[in-house]
Structure 1
Amino acid sequence: MALTDEAIEKIKEMILDGRLKPGDRLPREADLSTQLGISRSSLREAVRALSMMRILDVRQGDGTYVTSLTPEILLETMGFVIDFHQDSSVLDLFEVRRALEPLAAEKAALQMPPEETADLLALVDAVTPETALEEVVANDLEFHHRIARASGNTVLCSFIDGVANRTQRARIWRGVTQQDSFDQTQREHRGIALAIADRQPSIAAALSLAHVAGIENWIRRSLAEDQENDPAKDQAKEQE
């Protein structure tokens, strides 16, 4: 194991066994390197790596602290990676949504309070075909966020929010190019919301799965058509 990796593991052990808790300040560099039996240079590299993963927070002139370690903080690193692969992995993102969102809908149907289900239905009706596309997309994101939040699982909610926000361009693309996308989305959203309101977890999960899978399949077909109609592809065939 590289010295930096060893230093990272030792700091992580301190957090996992409770010697360092969320919000705690790390000991001075000299003291911590002696305590862990590692060089100060290895310790610096470890701190740098853990700060990039949002496990540690380096405050200039103040010290290094353990972050809150909430899922929202820790999953920002995942979002950063996804941003760099958004164009090539949009279908992968929808595949993840297809796995996670039915679970959130099922859990929401079991525990979303009546007043929140009423607000969810009102949210669906808050947009019309005349609403600006950007507002429609924002409404879509909020709809899925409320269901994820109602699941009661903060990690699940963070994953869904992180993936859903990074499929925003695909949503806009569909809204511009698919003629009936608004009406179809509204019908599907209303069906999911009604199943949650009626305390029907299996139906809510099934409708959520069909909703996300339908968008995924549309994108898959559109990408295939774009590739088939790519002039560069035709030119390459002519040169063969």
Structure 2
Amino acid sequence: MLLSYAPDITTTHPTLVTAVIRADRITATADVSSRLPPLEAAARRRLDTGQISEFPEIRAWRHAFSVMGLKPTQYRCAAESLLRRLEKSGNLPSIHPLVDLCNHVSISLAVPIAVFDLTHIASALTVRPAEGSEHYLAFNGETEQPEPGEVIFADNAGEAHARRWTNRQSARSAIRETSSDVLIVAEALHDDAHDSLSMLLTMLTTAIRETWGSHMEGELILEGERQSVPGTPHRLLE
């Protein structure tokens, strides 16, 4: 099991649904450019319908951040940050083919997606409250320590690979040119989260298989319990 949740996370957030995909054979030379415009167009259509803060998906994450004691206008889930960047600047930056793909799926569904390089993760990830002793590598090169009780993605070595749950990933396990074996995690809390993440699983597993020829395992986790999704690839990496 590469991803699990502490019991108090699923108890406090009972509507949580998570999509997890593990894939190999990822390269930085793949071309996903033809897949991005339809996803961006879907996001723009939603932006034309109303305020980002009123999207059900974003509203649910804002509520979760409030429950965690965070100001939703100061700390935003990754999907909201991407949508606001798209609305303000008109486009998203190109980082890596897989990251670009996931970012565009994220804005199309208003669901935060994290992409981790498994080479830099010790064994597995647990979404749990921080103890305060964990280390987080910021993208500016500085090492931070999450506050005790802050929700983090922690590995078995005490490294925090994301802070404030879906707010900010770590540079330690960020996708880079040499990344090959990856873990993709999408999380949602809104009423139709199961349908949204089932769609997300289909979109991403199809795109990744067709682009990289990856072996994949895809699952939904409902309130912390693993449940396989019919019709998605389930082949374990060899």
Q: Per the shorter chain, which TM-score range? A: under 0.3
Taking structure 2 as the reference length, the TM-score comes to 0.24
Taking structure 1 as the reference length, the TM-score comes to 0.24
| Structure holding more helix per residue | 1
Select the structure with the greater relative contact order (CA < 8 A; seq sep ≥ 6): 2
Task: Report the structure number with the largest CA radius of gyration.
Answer: 1
| Structure holding more strand per residue | 2
